[in-house]
Structure 1
Amino acid sequence: MRAKTKMIHGGVTGDENTGAVSVPIYQVSTYQQDSAGNPRDYEYSRTGNPTRHALETVVAELENGKAGFAFGSGMAAITSVMMLLEAGDHVVMTDDVYGGTYRLMTNVLNRFNLDHSYVDTSNPEQVEATVKENTRALFVETPTNPLLKITDLEKMAEIAQKNNLLLIVDNTFATPYWQQPLDLGADIVLHSATKYIGGHSDVVAGLLAVNSDELAEQIHFIQNSAGGVLGPQDSWLLMRGIKTLGIRMEANERNTAKLVEFLEKHEKVRNIYYPGLASHKGHDIAKRQATGFGGIISFDAGSGEKAEKVLNRVQYYTLAESLGAVESLISVPAKMTHASIPADRRAELGITDGLIRISVGIEDADDLIEDLAQALE
């Protein structure tokens, strides 16, 4: 079954009892048991819910995994994965990581003696040099947020296997439509499903899939114990979003290619970050391990003041955090999504005050180009 067909016909696709072609929203907390301690398929909705189960099933299929899991947010999914580790363990992480992930590791999980090191994972030699005796996991984001750096997942899998590490991949930007990390050697793949998978700026959720029955059992235990589960209404919204994920990703990328072409020729634009560019350092790796380059562009307007002027003038771009929606979103990471990262650290990474990130939507590309042109002028 090909990707777009799987998004329509994968997993649980309807209701056998009524013939409904859409999985019902089971707005229920508990379930009648046949006798004490003898439940049917479900007993309590934190442990399992039919609507959430339908979503988790299709996520596993899309990622070619053994099992899928749905959480109340992307950060809840990441936190649950980190709960697989123990105090004193060490994690090697992509340096250009989402600001929320940075905040979680640096300001929350450090309280539980979970150590971590940030490294440029697009450089395998640096990754290997950072592995220590107590390293237990390698956490990779590719493409990264917001500098769109690309990590070679097959190389990371080699390093992980050599050192007996869990390979965890944040696949939010690429989605399972463009990239399947489990097929490339990852153990766990996760998403902020708030972004492309939901696709309509109307749900907050996190998803993950695993490559083994053992990991599935461990994650389910943590999900049930910690309780950060996704509710049935939001699960239903994500299933609706998944049905159009393929055609939305293709439309996003077509528009993005046109915008990049425009930006390349604009004299006021510096340092365009987009893996679809042949000049991008990770272009060849992205082309090899994914089937598309995605719909996120970052570029430098020259200064924080110039970036602010662009934000104030655009009409068809919504100034907002998040990404991956049908509408185009624009942001300044230094002030928004990555404000939790200290200024000196942002400067070290290359996240300047003038860096603008655009999540390209599915509007008419000519309107988006004309709007950005007048804003830059």
Structure 2
Amino acid sequence: MRARSVLSIGNYASLMKYRLLRNESTFVTSKLTSAEKRMRQLRLPERIKPSNVGSPQSQSSADFILIRQNMTDHFTHFGTAAIHVGQEPEQWDMNQVVPPISLSTTYKQDRPGEPKAHDYSRAGNPTRDVLQKNIAALEDAEYCRVFASGLAASMAIANMLKVGDHVLCSDDVYGGTQRFFRRVSVPQHGVVASFVDLTNLEAFEAALQKNTRMVWFESPSNPLLKVVDVAAVVAAAKKFNSEIIVVVDNTFMSPYFQRPLSLGADVVLHSITKYINGHSDVVMGAAITNSKAIDEHLLFMQLAVGAIPSAFDCFLVNRGIKTMHLRMRAHMENATQVARFLESNPRVETVLYPELESHPQHKIHKKQAKGMSGMVSFYLKGGLEESREFLSNLKIFTLAESLGGYESLAELPAVMTHASVPLEDRIKLGITDSLIRLSVGIEDVDDLIQDLDQALKKAIPKLPKELM
């Protein structure tokens, strides 16, 4: 059964038609294949500039309730939008309530070189279209492009940098992102990369260079959960050079708790694998923006590089996203109780969770976000041996990398997710052998706390007398 074309923001067909009309006097299109036309039409500008330069505004709780009105006049709350935006039955031949999986790799054309919407599934797919529209709405954005993984999305964004351009990253950014910049972008693409603590605004401003073209950070960071004042960093970057593109990895928060575009960011990055999908069964990434120029670049990267997700994976995420608002509330409720338990436990040195008043950037977190996910990090009173013993004795928490699924996970960043970070840098950052990262799931919280308690007691059976 053939699906009708999906009418979405930044619709691929409209974009191609516009460019074809714009460029038809420049070259003879009738002699080109549709793929050649697309490659000719998607020539990128010399320098992509962000479109939303200005004074960023702080987010209030109300900012998270309303969904962009030009998306639809009916879906004004997050949960309703997550379920309905892009899912309209009328767009399909049989009015399917659940968007179908479009597995076709190719599409019939009425005339040579004139597809209805798509000509090849790498360039566009109806199942992917509806997912991109949905994610864009939830981030209160105009455009979204999904990729085969979070790092594939990162690569597509970073490809806006030219030889000699400087990218300034937060110092404790995800290990895979560090590895990409240090071992791919710098040696192979001629990009200059440096890393700085973005919670220190003075240090950030001092690290900006004449050739800085991109600022890249997570908030909260992985795994130390440091909170960056997004609006302040954006303002400082734009003051230094209005053409700097600010990229915020919002994976740890999800659009339910934080929307960096409304704080002035130019691009939001997600590992869809995590909270947006929420079921640990899909690897996917997304780049979201309000800039047409940036979106055209991302669309070009989907076509030219081909790191796009399958229709089936898009279907799975499109299903998982519908419960995101419910899952995120449960993650936060459980994680808050877990963090408070750990903070009161004599076997724990320090707990890192932005919702706790003890967190160094708690006030900034409360200013720019409406809550926090299930990510909790803490330092054991011990070393590598105690950490391994603790992780080995967990019964409900699974020792595994990744995060954001309904199940609870625990890991040791120093030898797992951040093992690719040089030892000297890990020690300097505080990613020590006693740092544990939890992804608190949505199980019954009493069971989770009991599991942590028994594992802590087995890892550190005896306490100093003054702590007993």
Which band: TM-score by shorter chain? over 0.9
Report the Cα distance in structure 1 between the residues aligned to 2:407 and 2:450, rounded to whole angstroms. 16
Report the Cα distance in structure 2 between the residues aligned to 1:143 and 1:119, rounded to whole angstroms. 15
Q: Contact 2:396–2:451 (CA<8 Å) still a contact in 1?
A: yes
Is 2:164 the partner of 1:88? Answer: yes
Is 2:322 the partner of 1:243? Answer: yes
86, 98, 108: which one aligns with 1:32: 108
Is 2:337 the partner of 1:337? Answer: no
Between stretches 73-82 and 3-12, larger displacement belongs to 3-12
50, 53, 72: which one aligns with 2:129: 53
**Pairwise CA distance, 1:181:** 0.5
1:210 corresponds to: 289
Report the Cα distance in structure 2 between the residues aligned to 1:13 and 1:290, rounded to whole angstroms. 30
60, 68, 79: which one aligns with 1:4: 79
Report the Cα distance in structure 2 between the residues aligned to 1:263 and 1:255, rounded to whole angstroms. 12
Between stretches 35-44 and 358-367, larger displacement belongs to 35-44
Is 2:234 the partner of 1:157? Answer: yes
383, 390, 393: which one aligns with 1:313: 393
Matches within 5 A, 1:193-204: 193-204=272-283
**Pairwise CA distance, 1:264:** 1.0
Q: Contact 2:87–2:98 (CA<8 Å) still a contact in 1?
A: no
Between stretches 97-106 and 208-217, larger displacement belongs to 208-217
Is 2:444 the partner of 1:364? Answer: yes
2:268 corresponds to: 189
The aligned amino acid for 1:49 is: N
Q: Contact 1:65–1:212 (CA<8 Å) still a contact in 2?
A: no
Deviations 1:9-33 (A, max 9, x none): 1123445311211111101111111
**Pairwise CA distance, 1:226:** 1.1
2:431 corresponds to: 351
Q: What RMSD over aligned residues (CA atoms) do the two structures have, in Å? A: 0.9
**Pairwise CA distance, 1:353:** 0.8
Between stretches 152-161 and 180-189, larger displacement belongs to 152-161
1:325 corresponds to: 405
**Pairwise CA distance, 1:64:** 1.3
2:194 corresponds to: 117
107, 123, 148: which one aligns with 1:72: 148
**Pairwise CA distance, 1:125:** 1.2
1:140 corresponds to: 217
Highest Rg: 1 or 2?
Answer: 2
Deviations 1:336-358 (A, max 9, x none): 10000011110000000111100
2:255 corresponds to: 176
Q: Contact 1:12–1:57 (CA<8 Å) still a contact in 2?
A: no
Deviations 1:275-294 (A, max 9, x none): 01111111111111011022
The aligned amino acid for 1:21 is: V
**Pairwise CA distance, 1:4:** 1.2
**Pairwise CA distance, 1:160:** 2.5
Deviations 1:9-67 (A, max 9, x none): 11234453112111111011111111111111111111110000111111111111111
The aligned amino acid for 1:139 is: W
Between stretches 5-14 and 333-342, larger displacement belongs to 5-14
Q: Contact 1:287–1:293 (CA<8 Å) still a contact in 2?
A: no
| SS of the residue 1:244 aligns to | helix
The aligned amino acid for 2:174 is: Y
The alpha-carbon distance between structure 1 residues 360 and 13, as it changes in their structure 2 partners (threshold 3 A), is: farther
Q: Contact 2:343–2:350 (CA<8 Å) still a contact in 1?
A: no
Q: Contact 2:399–2:411 (CA<8 Å) still a contact in 1?
A: yes
Report the Cα distance in structure 1 between the residues aligned to 2:294 and 2:181, rounded to whole angstroms. 21
Report the Cα distance in structure 1 between the residues aligned to 2:88 and 2:287, rounded to whole angstroms. 20
Structure 2 length normalisation: TM-score? 0.79
Q: Contact 1:138–1:166 (CA<8 Å) still a contact in 2?
A: yes
Structure 1 length normalisation: TM-score? 0.98
| SS of the residue 1:334 aligns to | helix
Report the Cα distance in structure 2 between the residues aligned to 1:180 and 1:286, rounded to whole angstroms. 12
Stretches of structure 1 that go unaligned for 5 or more consecutive residues are: none
| SS of the residue 1:256 aligns to | helix
Matches within 5 A, 1:274-293: 274-293=353-372
Is 2:117 the partner of 1:41? Answer: yes
Report the Cα distance in structure 2 between the residues aligned to 1:361 and 1:257, rounded to whole angstroms. 12
Report the Cα distance in structure 1 between the residues aligned to 2:100 and 2:274, rounded to whole angstroms. 23
1:97 corresponds to: 173
2:305 corresponds to: 226
- How many residue pairs align between the two structures? 377
Is 2:17 the partner of 1:17? Answer: no
| SS of the residue 2:364 aligns to | helix
**Pairwise CA distance, 1:361:** 0.3
The aligned amino acid for 1:60 is: A
1:258 corresponds to: 337
Q: Contact 1:248–1:326 (CA<8 Å) still a contact in 2?
A: yes
Deviations 1:254-299 (A, max 9, x none): 0111111111111110121110111111111111101102211111
